[in-house]
Amino acid sequence: MSRHHDDWTHGEPRLVLGVCDDCENRWYLPRDHCPRCGSGRSSSRQSSGDGLCVAVTRSHVTGEVGGAPLSLALVQLDEGPVVMGRVRDELVPGDRARVEFVPDGTGTALVPSFSRRALT
Amino acid sequence: MAVSAFLTGVGLTPFGRLPGRDSQDWQCAAAQIALDDAGLDPLRIGAVIAGYSTVSGHLMPANVVAERLGVRPEVAFGMSVGGATGLAMVAQAASLVASATAEHVLVVAGENRASGQSSTTSTKILAQVGHAHYEVPLGGTVPAYYALLASRYLWSHGLDDAALAPLPVQMREHAVATVGAHFRQPITVADVLSSRPVAEPLRLLDCCPVSDGGAAFVVSRAPTSERSLSIVGVGQGHRHQHLSALDPEDTGAARAAGAALRQAGLDLAEVDVFGIYDSFSITVAMIMEELGLAPPGRAGAYARAGAFQADGRHPLNTHGGLLSYGHSGVAGGMAHLAEVAGQLRGERGAAQVSDCEVGYVHADGGVLSAHVGVVLRKGSQP
Ligand SMILES: [Zn+2]
């Protein structure tokens, strides 16, 4: 069963994870079956949006003529899965990061954007 | 183990910015070289497998090229597995001859990606290997996806931005001596580090160029000459499509290599020459390390120490790889196999690896998404 896409890709400002009902494996991109145990039974769970930044790039190629450089990051969420997002302000691998949703990107109103988050 | 497939024909054109030919022109040029090399008339070909061209975008690439070459095969189909397509076609060809579906299979690809397409269009088409809803709308492109892999690699191994630079320098050193390579001017680590940033930490010289060119092979059920080589193992790994779902500890590279070597009944230590996909400096570093050919985080240091030279510990991409021979789409990943074949045939002159008996070729498509490994062996005793 595919999960309901009521997340940022459909205008809702949140990251939604899939959780396997049988083995509790978690994933980010939509999947019809758990890649670990093969189960077709899964549920959706909203992510806290907090995690560890594991990669950042400042990209000067955008696929658009004259497109301005942009920064992307990979953040490993505290729930486990890795999410790609834009970067707000300064962020380097190893930083704690938190997601916000901002109007940006090339085709959607809101995109996930990560910024540095002080340890609390 | 009885060998059931042979590489009997190899065709590789020069790569570069070489206007004047379209995709089919490049494919037919390469196919003709491969047919001549195998000593076969086109009518002897029983199956044609053709790789996609991003420029022509034809729905039936194998039929188009077959008609033009005067081949009337019993089996014809196109394939698309990104950069792994060339080796995936060879794997499929090997199984077609092993099952006696065809005596001879023509595998072909080529396109005018450099002169027939703007770089913006290229970037946009290739970016589609990313997730259409979760990655591409963020501004994802292939260089950016690999830059994220590079950033994670450098950070997790505590390396600085210079760590990967010896890899493109080594590839260029190989290409300097290779007729037909896209780039033949020597470069240094300083040149790599001062080249313009493409997607940081990757700079222009960390990235393969976009080239025009073609490549083709004939795979046969029996040798056609003493120069025929044995295809002794093929293996694949397909663990994810998108970067967000990639496991950096297990991309599928080692699984593909392991399956190919198991089929060949060989150990990695018995391989004399390597052709490993190098779309970016980080690509070849991650694959080499996952295969166990360099310790984690050390591929660049190995390159700097000369381990990948023709007389080094693991001779690698001795034609210059995608980084310097060039990248003409599917044909780009086939050039590695053409080079390894040249080495096993002992025909590489000054670049010849000595005592070359076994070769391993590896290609990846997408974002280290699709992996195909092929083991070739000198000699053609069925
Ligand atoms: Zn499960």
Instruction: Give residue A63's pLDDT.
Output: 73
| Ligand 1 centroid from CA B152, angstroms | 27
Q: Is the dihedral of CA B327, B330, B335, B336 positive or negative?
A: positive
pLDDT digits 0-9 by tens, B204-224:
999 999 999 999 999 999 999
Q: Is the peptide bond before B201 cis (omega within 30 degrees of 0)?
A: yes
Q: What are phi and psi of A14, to 5 degrees?
A: -160, 155
Determine which of B141, B160, B164, B196 to mutate to test the interface with A (most A C-beta atoms within 10 Å): B141
Q: Specify the pairing of strand B202-203 against strand B197-200.
A: antiparallel
Kindly state the average pLDDT of the residues B61-85: 97
Q: What is the residue-averaged pLDDT of chain A? A: 90
Q: What are phi and psi of B205, to 5 degrees?
A: -80, -5
Which residue from A6, A56, A79, A82 is spatially nearest to B152, judged by alpha carbons? A56
Q: What is the DSSP letter of A4?
A: P
Question: Comparing A8-12, B31-35, B141-145, B256-260, which segment has the lowest mean pLDDT?
Answer: A8-12
Which chain B residues have a beta carbon less than 8 Å from that of A5? 133
Which residue from B65, B155, B148, B74 is spatially nearest to B109, judged by alpha carbons? B65
- Hey, are the CB atoms on B148 and A55 less than 8 Å from each other? yes
Give the C-alpha separation, A37 to B342, whole Å: 44
Contact A29, B122 (CB under 8 A): no
Give the C-alpha separation, B380 to B358, whole Å: 12
Q: What is the residue-averaged pLDDT of chain B? A: 96
Which chain A residues have a beta carbon less than 8 Å from that of B143? 59, 61
What pTM was computed for the model? Answer: 0.96
- The β-bridge partners of B231 are B376
Contact B22, B58 (CB under 8 A): no
Give the C-alpha separation, A71 to A85, whole Å: 9
Determine which of A61, A90, A92 to mutate to test the interface with B (most B C-beta atoms within 10 Å): A61
Instruction: Give residue B85's pLDDT.
Output: 98
By the 10 Å C-beta count (0-12 exposed, 13-18 middle, 19+ buried), B61 is classed as: buried
Give the C-alpha separation, B158 to B147, whole Å: 16
| Ligand 1 centroid from CA A3, angstroms | 14
Which chain A residues have a beta carbon less than 8 Å from that of B202? 57
Question: Comparing A71-75, A107-111, B299-303, which segment has the lowest mean pLDDT?
Answer: A107-111
The yes-or-no verdict on residue B60 having pLDDT over 50 is yes
- Hey, are the CB atoms on B147 and A59 less than 8 Å from each other? yes
Give the C-alpha separation, B64 to B108, whole Å: 11
Q: What is the DSSP letter of B241?
A: S
Q: How does residue A109 score in pLDDT terms, banded at 50, 70 and 90?
A: confident
Nearest CA in chain B to A30: B134
Three-state secondary-structure class, residue B29: helix
- Hey, are the CB atoms on B156 and A54 less than 8 Å from each other? yes
Instruction: Give residue A118's pLDDT.
Output: 61
In chain B, what are the domain boundaries?
6-116+210-378
Look up residue B58 and give its two tokens: 């034809």
Kindly state the average pLDDT of the residues B341-355: 97
Helices (H), chain A: none
The yes-or-no verdict on residue B327 having pLDDT over 90 is yes
The yes-or-no verdict on residue B1 having pLDDT over 60 is no
Kindly state the average pLDDT of the residues B15-42: 98
Three-state secondary-structure class, residue B147: helix
Please list, in sequence order, all residues whose beta carbon lies within 8 angstroms of the beta carbon of residue B196, skipping any fewer than 6 positions away. A60, B203, B204
Q: Is the dihedral of CA B240, B243, B249, B252 positive or negative?
A: positive
Which chain B residues have a beta carbon less than 8 Å from that of A63? 120, 123-124, 127, 139, 141
Which residue from B104, B10, B106 is spatially nearest to B65, judged by alpha carbons? B106
A93 has a chain B CB within 8 A of its CB: yes
- Hey, are the CB atoms on A85 and B138 less than 8 Å from each other? yes
Instruction: Give residue A2's pLDDT.
Output: 45
By the 10 Å C-beta count (0-12 exposed, 13-18 middle, 19+ buried), B44 is classed as: middle
Kindly state the average pLDDT of the residues B52-74: 96
Q: What percent of chain B has pLDDT over 70?
A: 99
Instruction: Give residue B119's pLDDT.
Output: 86
Which residue from B30, B69, B25, B26 is spatially nearest to B47, judged by alpha carbons? B69
Look up residue A62 and give its two tokens: 């955008």
The yes-or-no verdict on residue A1 having pLDDT over 50 is no
A86 has a chain B CB within 8 A of its CB: yes
Q: Strand order in A42-46's β-sheet?
A: A26-27, A16-20, A42-46
Which chain A residues have a beta carbon less than 8 Å from that of B201? 57
Give the C-alpha separation, B135 to B215, whole Å: 32
Q: How does residue B175 score in pLDDT terms, banded at 50, 70 and 90?
A: very high
Contact B327, B76 (CB under 8 A): no
Question: Comparing B129-143, B225-239, B325-339, which segment has the lowest mean pLDDT?
Answer: B129-143
Question: Comparing B137-141, B223-227, B310-314, which segment has the lowest mean pLDDT?
Answer: B137-141
Nearest CA in chain A to B152: A55
Determine which of A58, A59, A95 to mutate to test the interface with B (most B C-beta atoms within 10 Å): A59
Q: What is the CATH number assigned to the segment(s) B6-116+210-378? A: 3.40.47.10
pLDDT digits 0-9 by tens, A93-107:
999 999 999 987 665
Which residue from B90, B138, B80, B96 is spatially nearest to B256, judged by alpha carbons? B90
Q: What percent of chain B has pLDDT over 90?
A: 93
Q: What are phi and psi of B222, to 5 degrees?
A: -140, 155
Distance from the B94 Cα atom to the nearest Cα atom in chain A, whole angstroms: 30
Look up residue B294 and give its two tokens: 């360099």
Number of Cβ atoms within 10 Å of the Cβ of A36 = 13
